[in-house]
Amino acid sequence: MIKLKGTIQEYTFYQMDGKDLVRKKTSLDKKRVKTDPAFANSRKSSNVFGKAAAIAREVYQALPKEKRKHGLIGKLTGMANRLLHEGKSEHEVKASLKKER
Protein backbone atom coordinates (compact mmCIF):
# COMPACT_ATOMS: atom_id res chain seq x y z
CA MET A 1 0.00 0.00 0.00
CA ILE A 2 1.27 3.47 -0.92
CA LYS A 3 0.63 6.23 1.59
CA LEU A 4 0.69 9.80 0.35
CA LYS A 5 1.07 13.05 2.27
CA GLY A 6 0.86 16.44 0.58
CA THR A 7 -0.80 17.88 -2.53
CA ILE A 8 -0.83 16.45 -6.02
CA GLN A 9 -2.64 18.60 -8.59
CA GLU A 10 -6.00 19.45 -6.96
CA TYR A 11 -5.97 16.74 -4.26
CA THR A 12 -4.49 16.97 -0.77
CA PHE A 13 -3.57 13.77 1.06
CA TYR A 14 -3.22 13.80 4.83
CA GLN A 15 -3.61 11.75 7.98
CA MET A 16 -6.01 12.48 10.86
CA ASP A 17 -6.62 10.29 13.90
CA GLY A 18 -4.61 7.49 12.29
CA LYS A 19 -6.73 7.46 9.12
CA ASP A 20 -5.49 8.34 5.66
CA LEU A 21 -7.72 10.97 4.06
CA VAL A 22 -7.92 12.94 0.81
CA ARG A 23 -9.76 16.13 -0.05
CA LYS A 24 -9.97 18.47 -2.99
CA LYS A 25 -7.72 21.49 -2.76
CA THR A 26 -9.62 24.65 -1.78
CA SER A 27 -10.03 27.60 -4.13
CA LEU A 28 -9.84 29.97 -1.17
CA ASP A 29 -6.69 32.06 -0.98
CA LYS A 30 -5.19 34.74 1.25
CA LYS A 31 -6.02 37.62 -1.11
CA ARG A 32 -9.72 36.70 -1.23
CA VAL A 33 -9.99 36.43 2.57
CA LYS A 34 -8.35 39.86 2.93
CA THR A 35 -10.47 41.65 0.31
CA ASP A 36 -13.78 39.85 -0.32
CA PRO A 37 -16.75 41.50 1.45
CA ALA A 38 -18.03 38.00 2.25
CA PHE A 39 -15.17 37.69 4.78
CA ALA A 40 -15.69 41.10 6.44
CA ASN A 41 -17.04 39.54 9.64
CA SER A 42 -14.16 37.05 9.74
CA ARG A 43 -11.64 39.89 9.43
CA LYS A 44 -13.41 41.86 12.17
CA SER A 45 -13.49 38.85 14.53
CA SER A 46 -9.84 38.16 13.82
CA ASN A 47 -8.89 41.73 14.73
CA VAL A 48 -10.93 41.59 17.94
CA PHE A 49 -9.31 38.28 18.88
CA GLY A 50 -5.85 39.81 18.29
CA LYS A 51 -6.69 42.63 20.69
CA ALA A 52 -8.06 40.11 23.20
CA ALA A 53 -4.87 38.06 23.04
CA ALA A 54 -2.70 41.15 23.60
CA ILE A 55 -4.79 42.24 26.60
CA ALA A 56 -4.74 38.73 28.08
CA ARG A 57 -0.96 38.47 27.61
CA GLU A 58 -0.45 41.78 29.42
CA VAL A 59 -2.63 40.71 32.37
CA TYR A 60 -1.06 37.22 32.48
CA GLN A 61 2.50 38.58 32.48
CA ALA A 62 1.65 40.92 35.36
CA LEU A 63 0.68 37.92 37.52
CA PRO A 64 3.19 36.49 40.00
CA LYS A 65 4.83 33.35 38.60
CA GLU A 66 3.11 31.09 41.12
CA LYS A 67 -0.32 32.17 39.81
CA ARG A 68 0.54 31.47 36.15
CA LYS A 69 -1.00 28.08 35.42
CA HIS A 70 -1.37 25.94 32.33
CA GLY A 71 -4.44 27.01 30.37
CA LEU A 72 -4.91 30.33 32.14
CA ILE A 73 -3.79 32.45 29.18
CA GLY A 74 -6.41 30.74 27.01
CA LYS A 75 -9.15 31.41 29.56
CA LEU A 76 -8.12 35.05 29.86
CA THR A 77 -8.07 35.42 26.08
CA GLY A 78 -11.53 33.88 25.78
CA MET A 79 -12.93 36.17 28.45
CA ALA A 80 -11.32 39.24 26.84
CA ASN A 81 -12.66 38.23 23.41
CA ARG A 82 -16.20 37.84 24.77
CA LEU A 83 -16.08 41.20 26.56
CA LEU A 84 -14.73 43.02 23.50
CA HIS A 85 -17.49 41.49 21.36
CA GLU A 86 -20.00 42.76 23.95
CA GLY A 87 -18.72 46.28 23.26
CA LYS A 88 -16.52 46.81 26.33
CA SER A 89 -13.50 49.09 25.94
CA GLU A 90 -9.97 47.72 26.20
CA HIS A 91 -9.62 49.50 29.54
CA GLU A 92 -12.82 47.88 30.87
CA VAL A 93 -11.66 44.46 29.67
CA LYS A 94 -8.29 44.80 31.42
CA ALA A 95 -10.02 45.84 34.64
CA SER A 96 -12.41 42.84 34.45
CA LEU A 97 -9.58 40.38 33.84
CA LYS A 98 -7.54 41.77 36.71
CA LYS A 99 -10.54 41.27 39.04
CA GLU A 100 -10.98 37.67 37.88
CA ARG A 101 -7.44 36.53 38.63
pLDDT (tens digit per residue) in 14-39: 999 989 999 998 888 999 999 999 99
- Answer for the pair 59, 94: CB distance below 8 angstroms, yes or no: yes
* Residue 43 belongs to some domain of the structure: yes
Structure confidence at residue 3 (pLDDT): 82
Structure confidence at residue 4 (pLDDT): 83
Structure confidence at residue 95 (pLDDT): 95
CA distance 22 to 13: 4
Other CB atoms within 10 Å distance of the CB of residue 76: 23
Task: Give the DSSP per-residue string, 31-74.
Answer: HHHHH-GGGHHHHHHHHHHHHHHHHHHHHHHHS-GGG--TTHHH
CB neighbours of 24 closer than 8 A, spacing ≥ 6? 10, 11, 12
Structure confidence at residue 33 (pLDDT): 95
* Residue 22 belongs to some domain of the structure: no
Structure confidence at residue 2 (pLDDT): 77
Q: Count of domains in the chain?
A: 1
Query: What is the extent of the structural domain holding 67?
Result: 31-100
* Residue 14 belongs to some domain of the structure: no
* Residue 68 belongs to some domain of the structure: yes
pLDDT lower than 70: segments of the chain: 101
Structure confidence at residue 54 (pLDDT): 98
* Residue 66 belongs to some domain of the structure: yes
Q: What is the pTM of this model?
A: 0.74
* Residue 5 belongs to some domain of the structure: no
* Residue 38 belongs to some domain of the structure: yes
* Residue 78 belongs to some domain of the structure: yes
